[in-house]
């Protein structure tokens, strides 16, 4: 196929090796963990991971009252555990952006909203744009969207990418995290392709999962995504962040993702401008390990 016949999306993908084998990826991740995981099991790393958390509440039962209390906990934490630093963001549904914005007192905590038809991304593009715009108007400083997985899997890269581009235009200089829903993509090859197309279309971060579908984040998906981020950076000079989310239930899970980011992307990515963890349950677990006693603060 000549360049003239290729779509711009196929041309973008052709610069990268997307012909990955799942078994090889799994083997490489296993080897990486065997060699490097234990050295990152330190208090210092855990404290850093706490500062990378997007503290998340995305429940059907969320209410103005529950989100207010959730936000007040972050304010209270800043007073009681100042030496720990804060979480990176509070992540909520868009209709709660205003309550978080009005309640949050900690300056360096972002307000992240899932938007654009989260978690399925199955609605009109106009609705996605309106929802994203309204969340930003109400105080969101970051937006997490989901790619149109159906379009991607059916090879309609144009529809998927156009939508991501349009939403990035709405977000302007606000961080836009693009969720790939890796559990639905099934293969390492698909995860690599979706990663590249999302970055090509303007993603500031690529994120594994919504947390609403199994499997959610896996080290294998993270490894493929981080490899894609590194290759994209070498090709374009643009640094894109990485966020695993969904199914992060142990401190060891967090350490695995830290290890992947450190080894694949390097020290430059080890800050909460380029690395986040989407979770609610991990905050207490990491806090407990850092402080050496069980703490159920959040």
Q: Active-site residue 138, yes or no?
A: no
Which tokens is 38 given? 């234990």
Dihedral in degrees, nearest 10, Cα atoms 75, 76, 81, 82: 40
Q: Which of 243, 253, 256, 262 is catalytic?
A: 243
Note the residue count of the chain.
298
Catalytic annotation present for 243: yes
Helices (H) and strands (E) in the chain, counts: 13, 8
| Set 78, 144, 204, 253: catalytic member | 144
Distance CA 10, CA 16 (A): 10
H or E element, residue 85? none
Q: Point out which residues pair with 175 in neighbouring strands.
A: 142
Beta bridge partners of 112: 91, 142
Half-sphere exposure of residue 130, counting CA atoms within 13 Å on the CB side? 5
From the list 117, 104, 105, 113, the residue with the least C-alpha distance to 149 is 117
DSSP structure class, residue 206: E
Nearest to 263 by CA among 294, 296, 297, 219: 219
Closest by CA position to 144, among listed 208, 195, 68: 208
DSSP 245: B
Told to judge if 262 belongs to the known catalytic residues of this protein, a careful annotator would answer no
- Residues annotated as catalytic (active site), given as ranges: 144, 207, 243
């Amino acid at each position: 196929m000549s360049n003239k016949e290729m779509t711009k999306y196929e041309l973008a993908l052709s610069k990268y090796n997307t012909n990955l084998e799942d078994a090889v990826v799994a083997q490489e991740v296993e080897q990486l963990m065997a060699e490097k995981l234990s050295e990152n099991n330190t208090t210092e790393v855990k404290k850093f991971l706490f500062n990378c958390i997007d503290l998340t509440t995305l429940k059907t039962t969320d209410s103005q009252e529950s989100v207010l209390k959730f936000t007040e906990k972050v304010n209270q934490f800043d007073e009681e555990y100042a030496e720990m630093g804060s979480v990176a963001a509070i992540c909520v549904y868009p209709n709660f952006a205003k309550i978080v914005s009005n309640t949050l007192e900690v300056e360096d905590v972002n307000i992240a909203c899932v938007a654009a038809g989260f978690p399925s991304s199955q609605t009109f593009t106009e609705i996605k744009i309106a929802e994203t715009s309204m969340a930003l108007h109400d105080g969101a400083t970051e937006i997490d969207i989901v790619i149109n997985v159906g379009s991607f899997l059916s090879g309609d890269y144009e529809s998927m990418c156009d939508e991501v581009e349009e939403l990035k235009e709405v977000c302007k200089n606000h961080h836009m995290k693009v969720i790939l829903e890796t559990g639905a993509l099934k293969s390492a090859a698909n995860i690599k392709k979706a990663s590249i197309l999302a970055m090509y279309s303007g993603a500031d971060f690529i994120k594994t999962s919504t947390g609403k579908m199994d499997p959610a984040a896996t080290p294998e998906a993270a490894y493929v995504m981080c490899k894609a981020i590194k290759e994209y950076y070498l090709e374009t000079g643009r640094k894109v962040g990485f966020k695993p989310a969904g199914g992060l239930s142990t401190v060891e899970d967090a350490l695995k993702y830290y290890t992947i980011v450190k080894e694949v992307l390097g020290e430059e990515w080890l800050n909460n401008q380029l690395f986040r963890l989407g979770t609610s349950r991990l905050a207490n677990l990491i806090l407990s390990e850092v402080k050496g006693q069980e703490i159920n603060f959040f």
